[in-house]
C-alpha cells in the first residue's frame, strides 16, 4: 500500500512525457510561470487530511465536536480518518516529490502538540518533525500554517476566539512550534483565512464552533488578528531565517447593474471580504464601512492592539476561488444575485479568473506597503471518477491554466507574486461538504485510501519537468 501513489504515477507519466497526451496546461513561452524562482506547490490542512484524531495524545478540536453534531456536515462525515495521512505521510510525500512539486503548504494541528496547561506533547511534535525533515531532504520548500481552523476544544470551552486570552495562548503555541521546528520551515503563516474563522465560525454559524452573531464575528476577528500580531515577533525571535506572514481568502464582488446602489453593494461586499482583514494588517485600522454594513458591531480594541496587528509582514498569502455578483439589499447591505449561464464548479462557485487579477492589481493600488504575495490556495472541486486507473479532470486543467494566466497578468502589471499553491494535493475532508467535494490533483478512494494521480497533476508535473530541464 505504502508506495501505491508513486507506482501509479510511474505507470502514467511515460504517456505524458512521450507527448502521447495532448497538453492543455503548459503556460505560453512568455509567462512568468516559466521563471525558475516562481514557486509552484500544493497545499493541504491538518484536519482535512490527517485523521488519527484520538491518537498519540491528540486532544479534540472544535471540528471534531462540530462535525459530530447531526446535520452540520454533509452525509455526517467527520475528519476522524480523512486521508489517513497521519499514517501514510511517507507515501504522500513520495507522491508530492514524484510530481516535481517544489513547495508544500501544510498546517499543524494545535490539539496534537500541546495540552490545556501548555505542556508539549512529544509524540505530536515528533510527527511534524519527521514530516518536515523529510520534506527538507526532498528539497521541498515548506510553508507551515499554525492555525487552519482546528482550535483545541478546551479553548472553545473558555470562549474560543471570543476570549482575548485565546490570542495569548496562540502566541504560546507559536513559541513552542517555532522553537521545536526552527530550521525546517521556510515560511510560517500564522492563520489561514481569518474571515472564515470569524464570520463562518462566529457570524453565521456555518462552520465550527457554529455561533451566529455579527458582533461575535467582529470580536472574534479582532482576537484572531491580535493572535497573529502577537505571534509574529515570537516567530521572528525563534526562527529568524524564515519568512513570516498570514493567509487571507479574498472575494471579488461585482455589481449587478450600473446603479449607484449596486456599485455600493459591490464595494461593501469587498469591504466585508477583503478590507476587514487587509486594512487592519496593512493600514492599522478597521474599515469604517464595515460598521455601516453591521451597525454597532465595533470590536473592543485595547491600546496598542492595532500596532501589534499591523507590524510588517514578509509575505501575504492569498486564497482565491470565485466571484459573487451582488445587488443592493435595499438597506445597508448587499445580496447575492447568481448569474445565469456562467461556468461553475462542483461547489457551484463561478469560474472567474479575472477576479484574481483584478483584486491583486487593486490591492497594489490600495496598499502602498503590500508585501510580496504567494497564492497559497487556488483550485476547484469536481466529481472526479477513476476509470481504468485514470482520472480525466478536464475542467480542473482548464481552470488551473486560466488562473495561472491571471497570476501572470498580475505579475506583468507589477504585483510581486512569488509562488502558487494548488488547493489541494489530494481530495480531502471539505469541511461542511465532507468527502463529496473533490479538490485534489490526486484522487483518494476513501474505502481503500488508494491515491490516483489525476491528469491535472500529471500536466503540472510535465510542465515542472520541462521548466527544470530548461533552467
Ligand atoms: C478554503 C480553505 C481550504 C479549503 C478550500 C476549498 O477556504 O482554506 O481548507 O477548504 O477553501
Ranges assigned E (strand) in 82-208 = 103-107, 141-147, 187-192
What's the pLDDT score for residue 12? 43
Task: Specify whether 50 is catalytic.
Answer: no
Q: Where are the alpha helices (DSSP H) in 138-213?
A: 153-156, 165-181, 194-195
- Whether the pLDDT of residue 270 is over 50: the answer is yes
- Whether the pLDDT of residue 19 is over 70: the answer is no
Cβ atoms of 40 and 33 closer than 8 Å: yes
Cβ atoms of 356 and 406 closer than 8 Å: yes
Mean pLDDT of the 232-256 span: 98
What's the pLDDT score for residue 412? 98
- Whether the pLDDT of residue 312 is over 80: the answer is yes
- Whether the pLDDT of residue 6 is over 50: the answer is no
102, 270, 350, 377: the catalytic one is: 377
The residues, any chain, with a CB within 8 Å of residue 148's CB and separated by 6 or more, are: 45, 46, 47, 48, 107, 192
CATH 3.40.50.800 given to domain 5-470: no
Mean pLDDT of the 148-168 span: 99
Tell me the β-bridge partners of 42. Answer: 104, 422
Three cell numbers, residue 118: 501548555
Question: Which of 312, 313, 281, 276 is CA-nearest to residue 293?
Answer: 276
**Strand duo 450-453 + 442-445: pairing:** antiparallel
- Whether the pLDDT of residue 7 is over 70: the answer is no
Residue 167: phi, psi to the nearest 5? -65, -40
**Alpha carbon of residue 350 to chain centroid:** 18
Element (H, E) at 376: strand 373-378
What's the pLDDT score for residue 1? 32
Q: What percent of the chain clears pLDDT 90, i.e. is strictly above it?
A: 95
What is the pTM for the complete model shown? 0.95
**Strand duo 417-423 + 373-378: pairing:** parallel
The DSSP code sequence of 321-334 is EEEEEEEE-SSSSE
Q: Which of 6-15, 29-38, 128-137, 259-268 has the lowest mean pLDDT?
A: 6-15
- Whether the pLDDT of residue 219 is over 70: the answer is yes
CA–CA distance, 256 with 105 (Å, rounded to integer): 36
Best mutation site among 44, 83, 193, 246 for ligand 1, i.e. most ligand atoms within 8 A of its Cβ?
193
Ligand 1 centroid–CA 196 distance in Å is 9
Best mutation site among 377, 381, 434, 439 for ligand 1, i.e. most ligand atoms within 8 A of its Cβ?
377
What's the pLDDT score for residue 471? 77
**Strand duo 103-107 + 39-43: pairing:** parallel
What's the pLDDT score for residue 22? 54
Question: Which of 428, 424, 423, 420 is CA-nearest to residue 463?
Answer: 420
- Whether the pLDDT of residue 470 is over 60: the answer is yes
Q: Which atom of ligand 1 is nearest to the CA of 48?
A: 9
Ligand 1 centroid–CA 21 distance in Å is 31
Ligand 1 centroid–CA 14 distance in Å is 32
Ligand 1 centroid–CA 83 distance in Å is 16
Mean pLDDT of the 206-230 span: 98
pLDDT tens, residue by residue, 130-146: 999 999 999 999 999 99
> What are the angstrom distances between the C-alpha of 381 and each of 33, 38, 46, 437, 457?
23, 25, 19, 6, 14
CA–CA distance, 149 with 158 (Å, rounded to integer): 16
CA–CA distance, 198 with 224 (Å, rounded to integer): 8
Could you tell me the pLDDT band of residue 212, with boundaries at 50, 70 and 90? very high
CA–CA distance, 291 with 78 (Å, rounded to integer): 36
Query: Where in the chain are the domains?
Result: 5-470
| No. of helices (H) and no. of strands (E), the chain | 17, 11
Residue carrying C-alpha cell 521572528? 236
Best mutation site among 431, 435, 439 for ligand 1, i.e. most ligand atoms within 8 A of its Cβ?
431
> What are the angstrom distances between the C-alpha of 58 and each of 170, 173, 231, 284?
17, 15, 22, 36
Cβ atoms of 417 and 360 closer than 8 Å: yes
Q: What percent of the chain clears pLDDT 70, i.e. is strictly above it?
A: 95
Could you tell me the pLDDT band of residue 332, with boundaries at 50, 70 and 90? confident
94, 193, 270, 350: the catalytic one is: 193
Amino acid at each position: 500500500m505504502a508506495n501505491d501513489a508513486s507506482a501509479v504515477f510511474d505507470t502514467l507519466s511515460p504517456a505524458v512525457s512521450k507527448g502521447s497526451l495532448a497538453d492543455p496546461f503548459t503556460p505560453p513561452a512568455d509567462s512568468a510561470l516559466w521563471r525558475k524562482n516562481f514557486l509552484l506547490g500544493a497545499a493541504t490542512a491538518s484536519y482535512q487530511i490527517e485523521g488519527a484524531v484520538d491518537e498519540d495524545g491528540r486532544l479534540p478540536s472544535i471540528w471534531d465536536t462540530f462535525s459530530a453534531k447531526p446535520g452540520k456536515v454533509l452525509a455526517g462525515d467527520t475528519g476522524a480518518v480523512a486521508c489517513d495521512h497521519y499514517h501514510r505521510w511517507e507515501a504522500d510525500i513520495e507522491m508530492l516529490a514524484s510530481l516535481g512539486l517544489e513547495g508544500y503548504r501544510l498546517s499543524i494541528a494545535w490539539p496534537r502538540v500541546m495540552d490545556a496547561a501548555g505542556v508539549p506533547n512529544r509524540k505530536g511534535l515528533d510527527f511534524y518533525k519527521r514530516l518536515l525533515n523529510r520534506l527538507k531532504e526532498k528539497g521541498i520548500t515548506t510553508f507551515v500554517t499554525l492555525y487552519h481552523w482546528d482550535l483545541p476544544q478546551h479553548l472553545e470551552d473558555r470562549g474560543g476566539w471570543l476570549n482575548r486570552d485565546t490570542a495569548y495562548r496562540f502566541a504560546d503555541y507559536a513559541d513552542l512550534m517555532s522553537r521545536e521546528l526552527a530550521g525546517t520551515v521556510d515560511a510560517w503563516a500564522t492563520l489561514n483565512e481569518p474571515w472564515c474563522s470569524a464570520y463562518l465560525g462566529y457570524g453565521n454559524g456555518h462552520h465550527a464552533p457554529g455561533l451566529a452573531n455579527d458582533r461575535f464575528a467582529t470580536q472574534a476577528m479582532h482576537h484572531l488578528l491580535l493572535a497573529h500580531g502577537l505571534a509574529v515577533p515570537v516567530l521572528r525571535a525563534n526562527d529568524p531565517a524564515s519568512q513570516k506572514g498570514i493567509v487571507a481568502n479574498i472575494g471579488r464582488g461585482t455589481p449587478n447593474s450600473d446603479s449607484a446602489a449596486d456599485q455600493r453593494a459591490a464595494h461593501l461586499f469587498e469591504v466585508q471580504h477583503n478590507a476587514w482583514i487587509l486594512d487592519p494588517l496593512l493600514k492599522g485600522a478597521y474599515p469604517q464601512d464595515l460598521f455601516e454594513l453591521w451597525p454597532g458591531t465595533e470590536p473592543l480594541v485595547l491600546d496598542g492592539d492595532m500596532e501589534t496587528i499591523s507590524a510588517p509582514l514578509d509575505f501575504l498569502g492569498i486564497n482565491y476561488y470565485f466571484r459573487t455578483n451582488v445587488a443592493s439589499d435595499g438597506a445597508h447591505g448587499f445580496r447575492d444575485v447568481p448569474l445565469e449561464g456562467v461556468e461553475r464548479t462542483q461547489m457551484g462557485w463561478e469560474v472567474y479568473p479575472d477576479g484574481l487579477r483584478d483584486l491583486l492589481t487593486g490591492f497594489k493600488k490600495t496598499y502602498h506597503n503590500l508585501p510580496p504575495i504567494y497564492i497559497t490556495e487556488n483550485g476547484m472541486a469536481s466529481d472526479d471518477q477513476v476509470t481504468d486507473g485514470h482520472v480525466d479532470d478536464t475542467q480542473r486543467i482548464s481552470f488551473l491554466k486560466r488562473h495561472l494566466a491571471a497570476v501572470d497578468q498580475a505579475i506583468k502589471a507589477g504585483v510581486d507574486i512569488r509562488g502558487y499553491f494548488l488547493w489541494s494535493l489530494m481530495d480531502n475532508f471539505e469541511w461542511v461538504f465532507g468527502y463529496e467535494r473533490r479538490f485534489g490533483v490526486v484522487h483518494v478512494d476513501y474505502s481503500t485510501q488508494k491515491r490516483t494521480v489525476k491528469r491535472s497533476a500529471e500536466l503540472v508535473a510535465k510542465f515542472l519537468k520541462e521548466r527544470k530541464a530548461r533552467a
